[in-house]
């Protein structure tokens, strides 16, 4: 049986990211990108991210008040670049509060990008979801 401390750590640890870089000493415009090792991130300029060739005006898009369909899917208004998506979605509930959901996945169907909320999270919240906010890199 897990102790209360172990339960707390198991719930909170996935919400934290780690980095070898000093997040207080970063240059403006850098974005946290997953290193692919655990929850580690490194901070890069958009021009340093693989899959973004530097052409055009690229930046962070924050799409607010997006509808969530009956399967937990959120259609994005533009295509993310380099399959880069912060794996966090902010879900706005009908009761004037928000919930941060981690572990979302991105997909592409018929040329339309979408974010999928994990099934367990969606099932727990589906009756109260009003909209969602998603941030990702894209052409501006």
Contact between 58 and 49 (Cβ < 8 Å): no
Residues 126 and 106 reside in one and the same domain: yes
Could you give the CA distance from residue 96 to residue 61 in angstroms, rounded to a whole number?
24
Distance, in Å, from the CA atom of 139 to the CA atom of 55, rounded to the nearest integer, reads 9
22 in any annotated domain: yes
Residue 46 backbone dihedrals phi, psi, to 5 degrees: -55, -35
61-79 pLDDT, tens digit each: 888 999 999 999 999 998 8
Query: Who's near 127: CB < 8 A, 6+ residues apart?
Result: none
Q: Where would I find the H helices in the chain?
A: 4-12, 119-125
The domain containing residue 118 runs over which residues? 55-140
Co-location of 103 and 83 in the same domain: yes
Does 62 share its domain with 127? yes
Instruction: Report how many domains make up the chain.
Output: 2
In this structure, are 35 and 8 located in the same domain? Answer: yes
The DSSP symbol for 40 reads: B
Q: Where are the beta strands (DSSP E) in 15-111?
A: 31-34, 41-44, 58-66, 73-75, 85-93, 97-102, 105-109
At 29 the pLDDT is 76
In a domain, 63, yes or no: yes
pTM for this one? 0.61
| Beta pairing, strands 41-44 & 31-34 | antiparallel
One domain for residues 73 and 8: no
Which regions in the chain score pLDDT beneath 50? 84
Q: So what's the pLDDT on residue 36?
A: 65
92 and 126: one domain?
A: yes
* Residue 124 domain flag: yes
Task: Determine, yes or no, domain membership for 50.
Answer: no
pLDDT at residue 6 in the model: 75
* In a shared domain, residues 33 and 60: no
Question: Does residue 49 lie within any of the structural domains?
Answer: no
Judgement on whether residues 40 and 62 belong to the same structural domain of the protein = no
Q: In this structure, are residues 118 and 84 in contact, taking their beta carbons and an 8 Å threshold?
A: no
Could you tell me if 39 and 63 lie in one domain? no
């Amino acid at each position: 049986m897990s102790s209360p401390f172990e339960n707390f750590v198991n719930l909170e640890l996935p919400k934290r990211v780690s980095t070898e870089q000093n997040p207080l000493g970063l240059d403006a415009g850098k974005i946290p990108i997953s290193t692919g090792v655990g929850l580690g991130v490194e901070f890069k300029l958009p021009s340093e991210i693989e899959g973004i060739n530097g052409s055009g005006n690229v930046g962070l898009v924050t799409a607010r008040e997006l509808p969530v369909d009956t399967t937990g899917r959120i259609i994005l208004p533009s295509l993310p670049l380099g399959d880069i998506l912060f794996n966090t979605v902010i879900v706005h509930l009908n009761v004037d509060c928000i919930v941060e959901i981690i572990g979302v996945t991105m997909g592409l169907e018929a040329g339309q990008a979408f974010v999928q909320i994990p099934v367990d999270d969606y099932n727990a919240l589906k009756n109260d979801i009003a909209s969602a906010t998603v941030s990702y890199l894209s052409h501006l």
